[in-house]
Structure 1
């Protein structure tokens, strides 16, 4: 018996490092990210009424890590 598997082509899940906010869209059989938003309110306006959610882009190139305090200058109590 020959079994044939039919799969739909998967769209690559990519994040554009140029924008800080992405829109995650759910459609029938195809989910994708649209990273072209500069603010959450801008993205939320696009997501309104759709099966979509705005997320912070984890690969945003302009993002900086948490700023640690320099403990040399802290006063000891």
Structure 2
């Protein structure tokens, strides 16, 4: 009986815990758009990190409550990927 109560309390605590959020910044893209939806848009704000340049992000953000920022998790000094050619043999 004591173990059943402990199990129920543990499961209840796990179900009541707040859900975790996914990673906010996608490290594959150098520019992120920070979108503010405010009270009339349902509340909250989010980042859309799917832009390859600031002008591209600014064009998408035009007319919206949004700003464009450099992605702090984009690996600026990372070496470019090396392309391997397959040898036909």
Question: With structure 2 as the length reference, what TM-score do the two structures score?
Answer: 0.56
- Distance in 2 between the 1:37 and 1:56 partners? 10
Flag as ranges the 4+ runs of structure 1 deviating above 6 A. none
Q: Which has the larger radius of gyration?
A: 2
Q: How does 1:1-77 map to 2 (within 5 A)?
A: 14-28=24-38, 29-61=43-75, 63-64=76-77
Question: With structure 1 as the length reference, what TM-score do the two structures score?
Answer: 0.64
RMSD, aligned α-carbons: 2.2
Match of 1:45, SS?
A: helix
Across the two proteins, how many residue pairs are aligned to each other? 56
- Distance in 2 between the 1:44 and 1:23 partners? 8
Q: Identify the structure with the greater strand proportion.
A: 1
